[in-house]
A and B are shown apart, each in its own frame.
Chain A
Amino acid sequence: DAKTTQPTSMDCAEGRAANLPCNHSTISGNEYVYWYRQIHSQGPQYIIHGLKNNETNEMASLIITEDRKSSTLILPHATLRDTAVYYCIVRAKAAGNKLTFGGGTRVLVKP
C-alpha cells in the first residue's frame, strides 16, 4: 500500500469547517483513498472513501486532486464530538487487502 503523510495535529473551532490534508504522492491507479477516525479508546470508524472523483456523505466530503497525489477531508461543521485521530489510508479495493495505519492527524475541536 502507498504511504500517506498527514500533519501530526490540528485544532479547529466548533461550528467551523475542518479541512484535513493528506499527501499520497505514490498512489497507484487501482488504489482508493480511505478515511477513518478513532475516538479515544474506541475502534476506528469508517468515514468515507474515493478513487478520483470528489465524494460526499452524511459525515464528510472528500476532495481528491486531479493528479490524485493528495486529498482533503472536510468536516463541514465540526462539533466537540469530532475530536479524534483521523487516518488517511490508501488501499486497493479488494476484500482481502489490509488497511495499514500511519500516524494520523490528532484533531482537537475547541469550543
Chain B
Amino acid sequence: GAVVSQHPSRVICKSGTSVKIECRSLDFQATTMFWYRQFPKQSLMLMATSNEGSKATYEQGVEKDKFLINHASLTLSTLTVTSAHPEDSSFYICSAIPTGFHTEAFFGQGTRLTVV
C-alpha cells in the first residue's frame, strides 16, 4: 500500500515555543491531506483539510492562527503548532489520499507532542 511518513515521531518542546510536524507521501501524489489530533483513549478528531496550493480548511473550534498548515507540494504538508502550551500535548496524525484512481486514505504513523 501507499506510504505516508510523518516526522518527527516524538517531540518534546517547552511551553511558548513552536513545533513543526511534516507529513510526506512517499510513493504517490496527494492533492488533499488531512490533519487529526487524538487525545488519550479518545477517537481521532479532524483538525483541518490541507489542499495543495491553497489555504487549509479548518474544522470548527480549531484555531487557524495556532495550527498553521502549509501544503506547498503534492507530497508534503506541514503542521506548525505555534506558541505551544501543555494542553496542546497530543498525538497528531496526518493522512493523504492519492490523486486519481485510489480514494482510500493512508495515514502516517503519528507524532507524539509533549509540551512541558
A-B pair number, CB within 8 angstroms: 57
A111 contact set on B, CB distance < 8 A: none
CA distance A102 to B32 in the complex (A): 21
Residue of A nearest to B46 (CB): A98
Among A43, A46, A103, the residue within 8 A (CB) of B109 is: A43
A98 contact set on B, CB distance < 8 A: 34, 46, 49
The DSSP consensus for interface residues of chain B is strand
- What does the 1/0 interface line of A83-95 toward B look like (CB < 8 Å)? 0000100000111
Q: Which of B31-55 contact A (CB under 8 A)?
A: 31-32, 34, 36, 43-46, 49, 51
- Report the interface size class on chain B: 20 to 34
Most B CB atoms within 10 A — which of A36, A95, A100?
A: A95
A43 contact set on B, CB distance < 8 A: 4, 6, 93, 95, 107-110
B31 contact set on A, CB distance < 8 A: 95-96
Q: Judge whether A30 is part of the interface by a CB distance below 8 angstroms.
A: no
B98 contact set on A, CB distance < 8 A: 95
A68 contact set on B, CB distance < 8 A: none
CA distance A55 to B36 in the complex (A): 28
B43 near A104 (CB under 8 angstroms)? yes
CA distance A100 to B49 in the complex (A): 12
Q: Which of B96-116 contact A (CB under 8 A)?
A: 97-99, 103-110, 112
A101 near B99 (CB under 8 angstroms)? no
Q: Judge whether A53 is part of the interface by a CB distance below 8 angstroms.
A: no
B43 near A102 (CB under 8 angstroms)? yes
Among A44, A87, A94, the residue within 8 A (CB) of B103 is: A94
B104 contact set on A, CB distance < 8 A: 34, 46, 49
Binding site for B on A (CB under 8 A): 34, 36, 38, 41-46, 49, 87, 93-96, 98-104
